[in-house]
Amino acid sequence: MNSRYSRQALFLGKDKQTKILNSSVFIMGAGALGSSSAEMLARAGVGKITIVDRDYVEWSNLQRQQLYSEEDVKKRLPKVVAAKNRLEQINSGITIVPLVEDVHGLNIEEMIKGHDVIVDATDNFETRLIVNDAAVKNGIPFIMGSCVASYGTIYPVIPGNGAPCLHCLLNHLPVDTMTCETVGVISPIVQIVAATQVAQALKVLTGEPVTPLLRSIDIWKDENSSINVTRLRNNDCPTCGEHATFPYLQYKNQMKSEILCGRNAVQIRPATNDKYELVTFIDNLKDKVAKPIINPFLLSCEFEDMRIVFFKDGRAIIHGTNDTKTARIIYNRFLQYY
């Protein structure tokens, strides 16, 4: 057994440490929760960690997203690329797979294939329901987690254990429109939620039982609760019920444009799976854009009084508007120069 894991192996046992070394974890999101979870899992020796995220590193991330540096911001690096760079410095003996992708119901199943557990680090509830559908359908445990301000929630979805999935709990979870962009977030709650998620993930990887507890914590108000929600399972649930249809994996429910809350920006996701050669694109644009920044993953520039971050899969974030119609017009004008 590698001596770097000796203290962990003393607690878990060598056999369970070996299971961790041979395991594979999928992290959905590389923001605050994702970067914290990724670092803990890398230090624990998880053999393969796949991280997916659609965004790039910005200055506002550095307050709580612990894998990133000022240099990552200056280079406009995608979060998963910056995360891979840092994680390989932490543990060179494991495999880190970065995916600069926007997750939706039509690509999630291929992404999670072959993984032992999914750790949720998304920033919106719709994406969580997409992952929940894919996890239940494919029989992969899914550790849900979220945090905002000083408050966090954690819930493990373990397919086949008779407990409710996230969809079952929709009518029992508080409806809250708060986001990190509107009310902020402090890093201690991020660390607590991520640590709890990673503990649950390690239990799954080592074969330990996981209790279906819905946990909530407010680190500022010194409040916490844990509720066993087994009885809340819905036999008619469209995700885990007897006649499951997995609605969030269906084409008709896929979002094509999305307002990014609190950022005065809209994301455009094309219906096609075309790949764009960014070097060719910037050559064609030349005098039509200002302040261009290009790396192997994205092109950032100013175009028609707005800032566009264009990814090689055709996805783009249009900064300077919250109107999806305006964003689409700008996107189409921008693409005509390709």
pLDDT at position 106: 86
Q: Where are the domains of the chain?
A: 3-251, 256-335
pLDDT at position 256: 64
Which residue ranges in the chain fall short of pLDDT 70? 1-2, 171, 173-182, 251-257, 259, 261-262, 271-273
CB 33 within 8 A of CB 145: yes
C-alpha distances (whole Å) from 201 to each of 8, 29, 65, 154, 195 are 15, 16, 20, 12, 10
Q: How many residues does the chain have?
A: 338
CB 142 within 8 A of CB 210: no
Active site residue 180: yes
pLDDT at position 322: 85
CATH topology of domain 256-335: TATA-Binding Protein (3.30.310)
pLDDT at position 329: 79
CATH (residue range 3-251): 3.40.50.720
pLDDT at position 252: 59
Choose the catalytic residue: 147, 165, 180, 301: 180
Rounded CA-CA distance 206/204 in Å is 6
pLDDT at position 176: 54
